[in-house]
Structure 1
Amino acid sequence: MGTGIAGESRLTETTQATQGLATRNLLVELLVEELPPKSLKKLGDSFAQGIAAGLKRQGLAWEDSTVTPFASPRRLAVHLTRIAAQAPDTSSLKKLMPVAVGLDASGQPTPALLKKLRSLCGDADPSPFLSQLKRAHDGKTETLFLDSVVKGATLAEGLQAALDETLEKLPIARMMTYQLADGWNTVNFVRPAHALVALHGEEVVDVSILGLTADRQTQGHRFEAMTNPLTVKDADSYEQQLREEGAVIASFSHRRAEIERQLLGAASKEDLGLTQYDGLLDEVTALVERPNVLMGKFETAFLDVPQECLILTMQANQKYFPLLDAAGRLSHKFLIVSNIRPVDAGAVIAGNERVLRSRLADAKFFFDQDRRKTLASRVEGLQRVVYHNKLGTQAERVERIWAIAQTIGLQLGGNELAARAGEAAMLAKADLLTDMVGEFPELQGIMGRYYAKHDGVAEEVADAIEDHYKPRFAGDELPRNAVGVCVALADKLETLVGLFGIGQIPTGDKDPFALRRHALGVIRILIEKEVPLSLDDLLEQTEGIFGKRINGATEILSDFIYERLRHYFSIESFDDQAIESGKLVYVASAEDRLAYSPQQIEAVLALRPQLLNDVKKRLIAVRAFAALPEAESLAATNKRVGNILRKAEVDTGGEIDPALLQAPAEKALHQALSRIMPEADAAFAAGDYTASLQALAALKAPVDQFFDTVMVNTEDAALRHNRLALLAQMQKTMNRIADISRLAI
């Protein structure tokens, strides 16, 4: 038995010598019935990456193998380059037992060792394994290891394992259970699967899933394929054959680009533009395999209905692309993405126009019916709508929003603004009882504005009814006037304080009431609309309006909002999935997000500034201060002073007695403070935070001299107290705008 093992780090060493193996490209396709369109892209990417990762783990794929996903309504597929037919063999060292236990005094195997070897070889004769034993120190004692060679997995074995694992981990919200062709067995998958293709070069790989065995046959377009079924020649011909013989663009990204090209071209020919279309384009890409963009029209009489209603009807119900004129007004033309390319598309266009006409007629009917009752007359009906079983009805909620909005209005603009804000707040939720909002909840607020204007309500009040929901999502605009600001703040504060007050606090990824979004909405309004109101005052006033209905939530909610404020000014950003799940969705502008370091943000927020509208000015001042050559030293000194004062056993807030200043350095520091404080105070009072902080740079030399030559914690109690008071005054001067110690590295 050898003794050539250097240490434990080599005990599980394997060799991935893929370079020495012949490789070919691999194609795997699962043909299914129409997949959920909103999940298709994610399913396609997950299918492709899961198989690729599984093959790489087993040594069948190179690290730089190219992974090309395919996803269409009826298929999930992946093409991978440089896939081996069999993984390389790997060496394995398995730890058995200490030598003293496994070998007797004469070096022969003990019964314990033989029993262990039998368990590893399936109770077969363990004698052949004795020659594979090695001795090495495992860091504690001399130990026996079994040195064996593990045969590399074949592609069929490796792909089977990768497929099984990938299907198990696909992000499927709901599974279907369906019966296989044998009439006896059932399987679970997102949609019934009908065929499996697995080709390594030209050869079929022997794998099976969901009751299907791999071959080389698939299906093209349901109606327009030249050949059905379609026989795939080899892995590399798949995409081209599907396009040419099957009339299918298999790649999600290629199909999306083709649809977008056709949409922009068709709109341009009519001198029209598209509405924002990214989300709809993704969904339509998941609905068609052979896109063909057509133009339809509807009667101009429908344009009397608010265009938001018409656009939502076209996009949400019919997946059409509305077209706008140069002024941004909705035109009577729209684009259809068809899945077929007939010689004469007239019948397809006419059919879509007929369906849309019915939808638009419904919208017009709802609009006409809703206007027969005023918004004000609907307010009483909110008493029959439950908002939350612990917080009462929508009518009770409106009363609270009305009271909060009036309080904010009084503070910002006096009685007139308060009255306008109260009127808007009282009407803000009335459109929830209209037929249009009942059909399209996304239009709440928007329809309220239209109906209020129809009722003769003042324009700024009508605008506020729509705007009180803003900002509704990342990048959304803010309320356009002061009335809207009051009601939007009131609505969000009522939601936050009420739900926090009954214990509905977001945890982890769970935020069913989108409270993070509401908190960031409050932040955006206070900062970007430059509202000069104290955050904690707003929270306390709102809590008071709830009375005994809720438990105190101001402190924990304040912490929650400051944490969101930290994210607002950080470099973090969030994707569409985060937005949909109600996570943090608002961020500052790109310029702001890149402007401040985490230390600078922490320095400002450590003081919990109550006026959020001046946080940005503080950050700008801290950033300018941090760029000074004296900043690093002063920040470190500030941190040191803070530690000294925290450990002091006496009150450090008293007056400084000049008569007790003995050392030249403490006298110089006192003189410097006396000279600098008025300058810093004046700049602070004028709101010039940058100048106020930069004035502190002159303290560096006297501060350094003080700590080099003065003993603060002297045995003389009066002298010690006076020096602590001097340091406390310096710290107070330095930390009015931000906690400078947070800048210390």
Structure 2
Amino acid sequence: MKLKNVVLEIGTEEIPSRFLPPMIEELRGFAEEALESARLGFKDIQVYATPRRLVLMIGTLDECQKECVELLKGPPMSNAYDSAGNPTRAALGFAKSKNVSVDALKTMEVGEVCYVAAEVREESKATLEVLPGLLRGLISRLIFPKNMYWKDPRIRFARPIRWILALADEHVIPFRYGDVESGRMTSGHRFMGQKSIEIKSAGEFMERLYDNNVILDQEKRRQKLEAGISMLKQNFEGALKVELDPELVEENLYLVEFPIPFIGSFDERFLEIPREVLVTSMKKNQKYFAVYDKDRESRLANYFIGVSNNRPSNINTIREGNERVLQARLEDAAFFWDEDRKRPLASRVEHLKNVIYQESLGSVYDKVLQTQRLAGWLCSELGRENLVELVERAALLSKADLLTSMVFEFPELQGVMGREYALHDGEDPRVALALYEQYLPRSAADTPPTDDVGALLGLAERVHVIVSCHKAGLEPTGSQDPYALRRAARCINEIVWARNLDLDLLKVVETSALANLVEQELTEKIIFFLRQRLLIQLKEKGFEHELTLLALSVAWPRPLQTLRLLEALDAVKDEPWLQDLATSAVRVKNILQKAEETSDVFNPALAVLEAENALNGEMERLKPSVSDALEAGKWQELMVLLAELSPIVTDFFDNVMVMDPDERVRNNRLALLKRCNALFERVGDMTVLKSQGKRGDE
């Protein structure tokens, strides 16, 4: 017989919603690990969470543990028996410690050494005997970002535990955690269910909760929430739309046990406040979904959708209460908006001297000036001299909004408010846009800057952060990256790729390092850090590791050219002509490696064979085109040009004895091949290309 259903429910006060999604995965992992360790077979494990309960459900659990027989190693045979074959004290002691007779000892070989061993059988216990300790252990292993402690410091949980239900089919699994005894009692919805519910069997647990308005399965709560919002949208008769922010949906799932969406509204005068302020206030403070004008998707409507955890019959009272709370929130936002605009953004820059960036790195004002200098240099380096004034102005204002009341209240609006206040002050629109776009992309799913002013400011900002933090000893270690330097490095590459900025990162870092008085050794460390982040990003894009290393060896430290070369290589790696090129390049390289000495000077007068002159002539013909393709970053065109040498190289090796007895002729031919090899290496070590292809002889 197997146990059909096992349920563990930990009933609590309301747990913060952000704690629950990771705890679901953690409890599932702990349960699988514990059952495996206890030698209990099972069919499946489900974990559910609501604000008031964390539930583990195990399906089809073995009635008892699997039998365990282990062969445990003892002392070597040479120590276990004397010369007469009698067991020594070592063998006797080992047998006694394993509770077996010395006559029952066996042997086992490890490497070339023979040991005595004891076969130990571990008693198989009934599952109902094992589960109390197992389930209690699971609860004790759960650690939340913030824990509450009881009288016993070993007892901790995110919120006070009010009840524990533990059932195996109809059997209670008895154990105690802190001062709470497990049993068969649970509680329904706080407002719409019974306070005390007796569960006769684990199989009826979920259904009984649903009868008491608790949707235990978070995915079913999600479906109900989204279906409810879809029904409410019909009230707008197609004129308005609702964006289902995935992050907000997830948060609402773990704020309620029975989601009931409702429509609310607010005064239209608040629509004069920037859209992002309204959305952030509704999302951060009230967990509301914003409603947009369908014909003008960027324009908010004066409605919102909230999610209640209370009776539908009370929905009007709930709506009115939520509208009053939102009214107060938006009054605050309107006050901040009006007060902040009384002072120009530029007037706040000087006060950044009073804001510490990092203790060993000075003030935010110092950081702004250093970023400004680097951003101006980037304009000149990239041939964007026409943008210097705009970029330097944007850099000067880049952190001024940190001192506004709105950003103090909503830190996530930095950049957004800089843009809005700059537009209000009459700053150039591209400067205003740059104040927002300097932070893009904010995440892997975000878009990069749409304008070069913001892109250059964002690049300068991130390079400065990486260099200055390395100088201060704040570089990432293991999983710790408090200043998000890995993210900064990723953003540098994303911006360079999106805006087609052919940047030499070595020069950029050296320029920033010079301004920050960073030593050469540390500069090299920073460059290596940036190279490794690029390598990881390219791997995430699906490029083969060997090809990626090849592209890096040729184009690094220019991320744009590295990506372009890699894309070109990936596109043609299996083409027959590329494999012919690789074969030719490998033959040239191999013979040069075997030569003891090679000359750098090729003398056409010593080239007496037609194949020599043909190879030299073709290289001379291709040189200008190769240089042009290289300069323009047209890597595939470059490879096509070099492939024109393949048949001529083949003919050369078929008709020319490179290692001629005459030293002058030999060295001249090696010099010719050296020039040929230099052309081939414009796209890296062809050995890698040859190994990637489907054809080509070794």
Q: Using a 3 Å threshold, how does the CA distance of structure 1 residues 290 and 501 change in structure 2: closer, same or farther?
A: same
Counterparts in 2 of 1:114-129, with a 5 A limit?
114-121=92-99, 129=101
Is the CA contact 2:40–2:65 (under 8 Å) kept in the aligned structure 1? yes
Q: Does the CA-based 8 Å contact 1:42-1:171 persist in structure 2?
A: no
Work out whether residues 625 and 693 of structure 1, in 8 Å CA contact, stay in contact via their aligned partners in 2.
Answer: no
Q: How does 1:500-515 map to 2 (within 5 A)?
A: 500-515=470-485
RMSD in angstroms over aligned alpha carbons? 3.0
Deviations 1:390-423 (A, max 9, x none): 3221222221222222223345566542112222
Displacement after TM superposition at 1:194 (Å): 2.4
1:501·1:552 contact (CA, 8 Å) conserved in 2? no
Task: Answer yes or no: is 1:91 the counterpart of 2:59.
Answer: no
Please identify, of 679-688 and 402-411, the stretch whose mean Cα deviation from structure 2 is larger.
679-688
Q: Find the aligned partners of 1:247 and 1:58 in 2 and give their Cα distance.
A: 36
Q: Secondary structure of 2:466's match?
A: helix
SS of residue matched to 2:150 = strand
Distance of aligned partners of 1:102 and 1:472 in 2 relative to their CA distance in 1, 3 Å threshold: closer
Among 168, 189, 211, the alignment partner of 2:157 is 189
Matched residue, 1:214 = 182
Q: Tell me the distance in 2 between the aligned counterparts of 1:59 and 1:152.
A: 9
Q: 1:688 to 1:241 in 2, by over 3 A?
A: same
What is residue 208 of structure 2 aligned with on the other side? 241
Decide whether aligned partners of structure 1 residues 625 and 730 sit closer, same or farther in structure 2, where only a CA change above 3 A counts: farther
Question: Which of 350, 365, 384 lines up with 1:380 in the alignment?
Answer: 350
1:322 has 2:290 as partner: yes
Q: What does residue range 299-310 of structure 1 map to in structure 2 within 5 Å?
A: 299-310=267-278
CA distance in 2, matches of 1:48, 1:243: 22
How is 1:630-641 mapped onto 2 (pairs within 5 angstroms)? 630-632=577-579, 634-635=581-582, 638=585
Match of residue 198, structure 1, among 133, 156, 166? 166
Q: Using the alignment, how far apart are the partners of 1:437 and 1:404 within structure 2?
A: 26
1:285-684 → structure 2 map (5 Å cutoff) = 285-326=253-294, 327-328=296-297, 329-412=299-382, 416-546=386-516, 548=517, 553-570=522-539, 572=540, 593-594=541-542, 596-632=543-579, 634-635=581-582, 638=585, 642=589, 650=597, 654-661=600-607, 669-670=615-616, 673-674=619-620, 676-677=622-623, 680-681=626-627, 683-684=629-630
Pair 1:431–1:678, CA change in 2 (3 A): closer
In structure 1, how many angstroms separate the alpha carbons of the residues matched to 2:570 and 2:518? 44
Deviations for 1:64-114, whole angstroms, at most 9, x for unmatched residues? x12211111111112122201211322232333455654567766554433
Q: How many Å apart are 1:290 and its aligned residue?
A: 1.4
Contact 1:54–1:158 under 8 Å retained in 2: no
Matched-pair contact (CA < 8 Å) for 2:191–2:311:
no
Structure 1 gap ranges (5+): 1-20, 573-592
**Alignment check: 8 A CA contact 2:244 2:289 kept:** no
Distance 1:93 1:479 in 2: 64
SS at match of 1:79: strand
Shift in CA distance, 725/130, structure 1 to aligned 2, threshold 3 Å: same
Q: What letter matches 1:231 in structure 2?
A: E
* Inter-partner Cα distance in structure 1 for 2:609 and 2:584: 19
Letter in structure 1 aligned against 2:145: A
Residue 155 of structure 1 and its aligned partner are, at CA, apart by: 1.6
Partner of 2:229: 263
Q: How many angstroms apart in 2 are the aligned matches of 1:170 and 1:718? A: 79
| Residue of structure 2 equivalent to 1:6 | none
> CA distance change for structure 1 residues 453 and 96 in 2, over 3 Å: closer, same or farther?
closer
Q: State which of 243, 267, 278 in structure 2 corresponds to 1:275.
A: 243
One of 191, 203, 206 as aligned partner of 1:223 = 191
Deviation at 1:661, TM superposition (A): 4.5
Deviation at 1:349, TM superposition (A): 1.1
Please state whether the residue corresponding to 1:569 is helix, strand or coil.
helix
Once residues 520 and 677 of structure 2 are traced to their aligned partners in structure 1, the CA distance between those partners, rounded to angstroms, is: 37
The aligned amino acid for 2:221 is R
2:524 maps to amino acid: E
Contact 1:175/1:191, CA 8 A, preserved across alignment: yes
- Alpha-carbon spacing, 1:705–1:540, altered in 2? closer, same or farther (3 Å): same
Q: State the one-letter code of the partner of 2:230.
A: L
Give the Cα–Cα distance (whole angstroms) in 2 for the partners of residues 489 and 138 of structure 1: 58
- Offset from partner CA, 1:114-139 (integer Å, 9 cap, x none): 33222223xxxx6xx35643356556
Q: Is structure 2 residue 4 aligned with structure 1 residue 24?
A: yes
Identity of aligned residues (%): 32
Q: Which moved more, 1:375-384 or 1:250-259?
A: 250-259
Counterpart of 2:469 in 1: which secondary structure? Answer: helix
Q: Look up the equivalent residue of 1:565 and give its one-letter code.
A: L
Separation in 1 of the partners of 2:12 and 2:357? 43
1:268-304 per-residue CA deviation (whole Å, 9 max, x = no partner) reads 4323322351111111111111111111111111111
Separation of aligned partners in 2, 1:655 and 1:343: 94
1:158 to partner: Cα distance:
3.5
Structure 1: which amino acid aligns with 2:316? G
- Indicate if the aligned counterparts of 1:463 and 1:480 stay in contact, CA closer than 8 A: no
Moved more, 101-110 or 186-195: 101-110
What is residue 694 of structure 2 aligned with on the other side? Answer: none
Contact 1:52 1:61 in 2 (8 A): no
Q: Are residues 52 and 442 of structure 1, via their aligned partners in 2, closer, same or farther at CA, if it must alter by over 3 Å? A: same
Q: CA deviation at 1:157?
A: 4.5
Q: 1:400 to 1:77 in 2, by over 3 A?
A: same
The 1:145–1:390 alpha-carbon spacing in structure 2 relative to 1, beyond 3 Å, is closer
8 Å CA contact 2:136–2:175 kept in 1: the answer is no
Q: CA 1:84–1:650 in structure 2 vs 1: closer, same or farther (change >3 Å)? A: same
Change (3 A) 1:725 1:81: same
Q: Does 1:694 align with 2:640?
A: yes
Separation (CA, whole Å) in 2 of partners of 1:224 and 1:72: 15
The amino acid across from 1:468 in the alignment is Q
Q: Can you list the C-alpha shifts for 1:222-281, whole angstroms capped at 9, x where unaligned?
A: 2211x331122222211111111x321111222122212212332343233223511111
- C-alpha distance in 1, partners of 2:321/2:550? 63
**Structure 2 contact 140–155 (Cα < 8 Å) conserved:** no
2:696 is matched with: none
Aligned-residue offset at 1:659: 4.2
Greater mean deviation of Cα atoms: 84-93 or 166-175: 166-175
Residue type of the partner of 2:185? Q
Letter in 1 for 2:292: L
Confirm or deny: 8 A CA contact 2:148 2:156 kept in the other structure: yes
How far the C-alpha of 1:53 sits from its partner, in A, is: 2.8
- Structure 2: distance between partners of 1:725 and 1:233: 91
User: In 1, distance between residues paired with 2:342 and 2:529?
Assistant: 44
Q: State whether residues 46 and 171 of structure 1, in contact with CA within 8 Å, keep that contact through their aligned partners in structure 2.
A: no
- The one of 16, 20, 25 equivalent to 1:36 is 16
